[in-house]
Amino acid sequence: MAVGIFDSGLGGLTVWDAVNQRMPDLPVVYLADSAHAPYGVRTADDIYELTCSAVQRLFDAGCNLVVLACNTASAAALRRMQESWVPADRRVLGVFVPLIEALTERQWGDNSPPREVAVRHVALFATPATVASRAFQRELAFRAIGVDVEAQSCGGVVDAIEDGDMILAEALVRSHVDALKRKMPDPDAAILGCTHYPLMQDYFQSALGEDVRVFSQASLVADSLADYLDRHPDMLGSGAASFLTTGDPARVSDRATQFLRRQITFQAA
């Protein structure tokens, strides 16, 4: 019955945790490509090749459905994968869809023309590769008009989180928010466009101010996945739950346990 969740590192554990809370009986195979993290500074072709390799590993583990719990992979690789690589009997989903559904308050299958939505000024915090792809702006433009998106590339934040240096991560978050606000002083909403960033959500909220609505993806993705599986139960695979990493299992397990404040044990992928 397993569903696959892939991330370049540990940020996708925020999605795994939300999925586990939403569907505690759903077995999940989580794969962290820790040996090649972070993806946010890599080229689009490199990200595509690494993502295909990781997703194939999850297919081989018995997952018919894989969620890319990595905004960088979703932005730089997902569309290309869906068009030319994913087998007809498998599915790969990204993390942008639930986020844009929430932001625009319309379902993904709603193909009516773009219309005005409640928010007008949106701050997007993401990795350099996600910002460069403009994937979020492209998908948003299909569904909403009149929304000004200001993107801030948050270099260093993922590395600091993966290294467990939360003091540095907090300092970097505040620096990136300051840089964003020099370009967009009064955003209505903020998108945490990397699944590592919910670990720093309180710091983003504090730096942005309490009047800014912060959209974080984990719970949105979990709800969307539950709805998808209700509609497509055939996408449940045959694998058993596990945590896999291309990095050092002991080190990754230690970091994961710190993140989620519960014991998480990774095995070599």
Q: Do residues 32 and 246 touch, judged by C-beta distance below 8 A?
A: yes
Sign of the Cα pseudo-torsion (78, 90, 105, 40, in order): negative
CA atoms of 76 and 51, how far apart (whole Å)? 10
Q: Do β-strands 213-215 and 3-7 pair in parallel, antiparallel, or remain unpaired?
A: unpaired
CA gap 189, 122 in Å, rounded: 5
Strand partners, 240: none
Segment 56-61 long-range contacts (CB within 8 Å, at least 24 positions apart): 57/31, 57/244, 57/269, 58/4, 58/6, 58/29, 58/31, 59/4, 59/87, 59/90, 61/2, 61/4, 61/29, 61/239, 61/242, 61/244
Q: How far is Cα 68 from Cα 78, in angstroms, rounded to an integer? A: 8
Enzyme catalytic residues: 70, 194
Q: Look up tokens 């370009």; give the residue.
A: 183
Q: What is the Cα gyration radius of the chain?
A: 18
CB 72 within 8 A of CB 8: yes
- Kindly list the strands in the beta sheet with 189-193, ordered across the sheet, starting from the edge strand earlier in the chain: 148-153, 121-126, 189-193, 213-215
In sequence order, the β-bridge partners of residue 214 are 190
